[in-house]
Structures are given as structure tokens and as C-alpha cells.
């Protein structure tokens, strides 16, 4: 059953007035993750939280089920433990607990912190088999359930009763989680289903030169009609490949033209925050498409026209794949410190928390295995102290930010420090405007990712 820890004895209650109940947290997990859940229980209990935790195997009848439901209704926070095991299981009692917690969250304010998903392995938000509500809050990464600085920082915040959450990253569109619809079945009664439509006959060249203009018009019509028929009957992945190539060609040409027209202006193209995992997946998909096209082109039954189209498509796919994968090869571990602000300024602290939540969420999505939370150092420390903290943790870079109040208005200074060099190799200043925490976080994440890519590009090749 789930029992609160550190319950006072009747004798203690008789001697002292009842103390205010401590915040409680309910840990929900699959039975395969029991060891990791125990580690989470111990770490959160040390932070001062009452941990409600199932000590028994699933079972126990209606009384046990009612107790679980009551505890989910009464707990202060709810922590679902997410892992490869929960992803693999189609059903389990933990999924019922997740739904009960989500139902309760519907009655809460949007900025109230209640759901705190904890990931104990490399599982990512993209495509995860979790309730949609879990995708609207920030996930906590605790490998193996072990106590990390990030877990202790969150536990201390929960024990202090801070119930407001930082703005989460917008959830991925539901369309990417939908399975593609199965193609309609081909019935035996339709022997021509799936066959290419007949090509129009090529026009005959007229004997009379006066009809040459008409002949040219007929040839143009034949080219357009043939192209339309081939496009309509081409496989979807071939059409998608050609569209992607066309879009990339237009965008790249536009960028080059802009650089040529304004050689004296500094480069000002915005770096979009896109996950390196997505870039790698796109590049792999394009390489796979190129391999399929080459295989089809080697078929002896294919005509010369189809073979030429397929070979050209394979070359285009590989070219686009190289463009997609370009710039996504930087390595290294990066620590991110919570953003600092004047402790006497409540508005500044609120903006710093919102900005940090947005930036860290975007960075951890871009490279889940390379960005991690570090709460052991002070964001206002000098570069040498920050570098020493990163080196002690075995990391390569560390990110720190603090709020400033120059004469021009409040702004955040963001520094990217090299752990080995002991100095900041990139610094960004971002003015703070009312209601701009989300867009400001996007700019900071853009700048950090761009600085890391530039650093990798300038590094000497081995």
C-alpha cells in the first residue's frame, strides 16, 4: 500500500500541537521500475516531502483501489515515472493512476505545479505513450532514479510550497503521433487498379511547314500532359522528396542572393531551434529514399525515362540530406545553471524562472543526452569558478545567466564558458520586455546552439 512517511506517534501528538502537514508527492511507476522509484522516494523524502509510494505488487481488491484513488485526490504533487518499460507496456495499473491525476489537474489553474514527470532513461517526449497533459509540462530527467542536483533543487522547491510552474514548451502537434492511414485495399474485380495511365501519343511532325506552329503547341501539350500523369501516379515518397528538394533549393538560393546583395551587412539570419534528433532523422530518411531510387533505377524492366528520373532523384536526395545534416555534429556535455535575478525583485525572479524554463526545455529537446541541469554553482560567479564547476562534473561547457539593470533598461546577460579554457567564448545580451519571456527564451536558445555549432566548426580537425 501507499503510506506517508514519518507519521507522528499518538504520544507525540499529545505532547505538541499538530504541525502543518508537509507537502506530499505520489510516485506512480510500473513494477519493472520499482528500484528506481525507491531511489526517488528516498531522495524526495530527504528534501522534506511526504512520499506516497506503493510498496506492494498490484492487487488487494476494492479497498486497495479506493486508497490509491483517495491519495491521488489528496496529494500535493504527482510524479509519474516514465521509462522504456512504460513505453513498452500497453496496459497497467500505473496508466489508471496517470489518468486519475490528469483528471484532477483539469480543476487546477494553468500555472499550478502538480504533474512532475520523471524520466529515468533516454525516453524522449516525442511520440511518448503518455497522456497529452504530460507533454504540456517540463520533464525531470533522473537517470536510474538517482539523486541529481536537478532532482534535489526541484525537491527543495516543492518542499518549500512553491506551487507555480515555469511555462512549458508547446507540445508537439498531435498529427505527428497519428499512425498513417492504411492504403485502401485493391479489389480483385479491378484488374487495372494501380497501373499507370496510358501515355498520350507523341504528335507526328507535319509535312507542311505552315503547320509547324501547331506542331510545337502539340508537343508542349504532350510534355505537360505526360508530366501530370507521371506525377499523379508516382509514389508518395518520390513526390515528397521532390517537394523537399524544391523548397530547400529556393531557400538556399534566397539566402545566397541576400548575402550577395548585402556584402557589407553582418549575417543576421535567425537560427531556428530544431532538435538535432529531428535533423538526423530527416537526413536518414533522405538517404533511405536515395537508396530506394537507386535500387529501382537498376531494374532492367525500367525504361530509360524512368531510370533517368530515379537517378536524378537519388542525387537530389543525397544533396538535401547533406544540407540537413550539416552543422549538427558538435560534441560535448553542457551544464545549464538556473538563471539568477535580484532576490529582492519578485518580478525579476519570476521572469528569470520563466526564461530558464523555456531555454532549458528547448536545449534538452535539441540534445537530450548533452544538456543537463547544474544547481551546484552560482550563476553570478566569475568564469573561472564556473569552469571549475564544469570540470569537476566532467563536462565541457557551462551556461550561466543573470539579470542586469543598465541605463538602457533591464536585460539578461547569458554566458557560455569553456570548462577547459576557463573563459566565456560567447556572451549574449537580451533586453527584457513585458510579456516576452517565451520569445526571449527562443532567442537565447538560438544563440547558444549557434555558438556551439560555430565553436565546433572552428575547432581543428583531428
Residue for grid cell 512504460: 86
Supply 182's cell numbers: 492504411
**CA 142 → CA 1, 119, 147, distances in Å?**
24, 6, 7
State the Cα–Cα distance between residues 134 and 116, nearest whole angstrom. Answer: 8
Nearest residue to 28 via CA among 106, 95, 120: 95
Nearest residue to 51 via CA among 172, 145, 169: 145
Q: Kind of pairing, strands 397-404 and 334-336?
A: parallel
pTM: 0.36
pLDDT at 26: 95
pLDDT at 166: 46
Query: Going residue by residue through the chain (462 aa), what tens digit of pLDDT does each one get?
Result: 344 445 455 555 555 556 667 899 999 999 899 999 999 999 999 998 999 877 654 455 668 888 889 999 999 999 999 999 999 998 889 999 999 999 999 998 888 889 999 999 989 888 889 999 998 888 999 999 998 988 998 998 888 877 665 444 444 454 444 454 554 554 444 444 444 556 677 777 777 777 777 878 888 888 888 888 777 777 877 888 888 888 878 877 776 655 555 444 333 333 444 454 455 556 666 667 667 766 766 766 656 656 666 666 666 666 665 555 554 556 778 888 888 887 787 888 888 888 888 888 888 787 777 888 876 656 667 888 888 888 888 888 888 888 888 887 788 889 888 888 888 889 988 888 755 777 888 888 888 888 888 887 777 665
Per the DSSP assignment, residues forming a β-bridge with 26 are 52, 78
State the Cα–Cα distance between residues 135 and 116, nearest whole angstrom. Answer: 11
Instruction: With residue 159 as reference, give the H or E element that holds it.
Output: helix 149-159
**CA 224 → CA 206, 208, 227, 230, distances in Å?**
21, 25, 5, 10
State the Cα–Cα distance between residues 398 and 331, nearest whole angstrom. Answer: 14
Amino acid at each position: 500500500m501507499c503510506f506517508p512517511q514519518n507519521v507522528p506517534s499518538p504520544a507525540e501528538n499529545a505532547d505538541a500541537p499538530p504541525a502543518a502537514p508537509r507537502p506530499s508527492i505520489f510516485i506512480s511507476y510500473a513494477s519493472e521500475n520499482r528500484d528506481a522509484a525507491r531511489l526517488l522516494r528516498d531522495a524526495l523524502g530527504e528534501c522534506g516531502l511526504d512520499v506516497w509510494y506503493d510498496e506492494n505488487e498490484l492487487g488487494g481488491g476494492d479497498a486497495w483501489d479506493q486508497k490509491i484513488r483517495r491519495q491521488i485526490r489528496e496529494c500535493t504533487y504527482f510524479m509519474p515515472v516514465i521509462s522504456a518499460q512504460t513505453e513498452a507496456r500497453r496496459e497497467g495499473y500505473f496508466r489508471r493512476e496517470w489518468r486519475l491525476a490528469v483528471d484532477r489537474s483539469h480543476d487546477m489553474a494553468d500555472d499550478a505545479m502538480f504533474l512532475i514527470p520523471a524520466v529515468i532513461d533516454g525516453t524522449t517526449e516525442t511520440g511518448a505513450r503518455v497522456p497529452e497533459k504530460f507533454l504540456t509540462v517540463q520533464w525531470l530527467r533522473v537517470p536510474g532514479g538517482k539523486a541529481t542536483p536537478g532532482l534535489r533543487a526541484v525537491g527543495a522547491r516543492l518542499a518549500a510550497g512553491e506551487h507555480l510552474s515555469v511555462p512549458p514548451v508547446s507540445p508537439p502537434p498531435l498529427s505527428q503521433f497519428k499512425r498513417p492511414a492504411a492504403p485502401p485495399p485493391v479489389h480483385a474485380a479491378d484488374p487495372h487498379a494501380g497501373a499507370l495511365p496510358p501515355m498520350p501519343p507523341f504528335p507526328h511532325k507535319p509535312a507542311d511547314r505552315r503547320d509547324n506552329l501547331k506542331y510545337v503547341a502539340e508537343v508542349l501539350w504532350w510534355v505537360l500532359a505526360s508530366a501530370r500523369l507521371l506525377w499523379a501516379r508516382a509514389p508518395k515518397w518520390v513526390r515528397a522528396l521532390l517537394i523537399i528538394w524544391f523548397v530547400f533549393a529556393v531557400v538556399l538560393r534566397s539566402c545566397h542572393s541576400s548575402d550577395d546583395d548585402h556584402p557589407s551587412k553582418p549575417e543576421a539570419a535567425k537560427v531556428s531551434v530544431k532538435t538535432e534528433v529531428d535533423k538526423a532523422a530527416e537526413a536518414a530518411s533522405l538517404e533511405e529514399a536515395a537508396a530506394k531510387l537507386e535500387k529501382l533505377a537498376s531494374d532492367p524492366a525500367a525504361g530509360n525515362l524512368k531510370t533517368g528520373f530515379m537517378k536524378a532523384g537519388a542525387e537530389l536526395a543525397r544533396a538535401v540530406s547533406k544540407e540537413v545534416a550539416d552543422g549538427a555534429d558538435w560534441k560535448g556535455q553542457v551544464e545549464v545553471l538556473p538563471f539568477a535575478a535580484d532576490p529582492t525583485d519578485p518580478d525579476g525572479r519570476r521572469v528569470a524562472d520563466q526564461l530558464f524554463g523555456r531555454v532549458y526545455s528547448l536545449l534538452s529537446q535539441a540534445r537530450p543526452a548533452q544538456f543537463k541541469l547544474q544547481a551546484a554553482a552560482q550563476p553570478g560567479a566569475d568564469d573561472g569558478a564556473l569552469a571549475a564547476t564544469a570540470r569537476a562534473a566532467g563536462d565541457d561547457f557551462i551556461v550561466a545567466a543573470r539579470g542586469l539593470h543598465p541605463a538602457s533598461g533591464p536585460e539578461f546577460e547569458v554566458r557560455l564558458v569553456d570548462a577547459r579554457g576557463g573563459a566565456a567564448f560567447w556572451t549574449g545580451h537580451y533586453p527584457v520586455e513585458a510579456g516576452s519571456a517565451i520569445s526571449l527564451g527562443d532567442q537565447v536558445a538560438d544563440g547558444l546552439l549557434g555558438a556551439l555549432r560555430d565553436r565546433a566548426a572552428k575547432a581543428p580537425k583531428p
